[in-house]
Amino acid sequence: MAVVYIGLGANLGDRERTIRAAVERLGADPEIEVVAVSTLRETEPVGYVAQPRFLNGAAALQTGLAPRELLARLLAVEQELGRTRDGPRFGPRTIDLDLLLHGEAVLEERGLVVPHPRLAERRFVLEPLAELDPDLEVPGRGPVQALLATLE
């Protein structure tokens, strides 16, 4: 079993309700245990597309699923909750579930990079991770607290 961290985000519709529904669906999966969910925070969108503000957070999960299998489950939950991928990259979305960390795994495969490639650049990811585990280490990058300090 690995401790896994996922990013949670939404900026269309009832953002909080959609994020909570995603967490519930993941928790209903017999191979995933939701251990903790961070506070949700209002954040500015990243990218070049004018769009509504996001609600972001993170969740800690425990699972025996391999990273690729877990990613497939995350994408399925996104689709169930109305996520489409026909708009611009980094554009508005009903739900966004990102695989941030999967135990100590360091992977770079087509369509899957763990730790998440932009994790260290994003306060809206690092703050919830630090809330969930102040001593969390990002494989190959160091402590979440140190990464957060470089953004301040």
**Residues labelled as active-site residues:** 83, 93, 96, 98
In 10 A of CB 145, how many CB atoms? 14
> How far apart are alpha carbons 77 and 88 in whole angstroms?
20
What is the DSSP secondary-structure string of 17-52? HHHHHHHHHHHHSTTEEEEEEPPPEEEPPPSSS--P
> How far apart are alpha carbons 93 and 44 in whole angstroms?
14
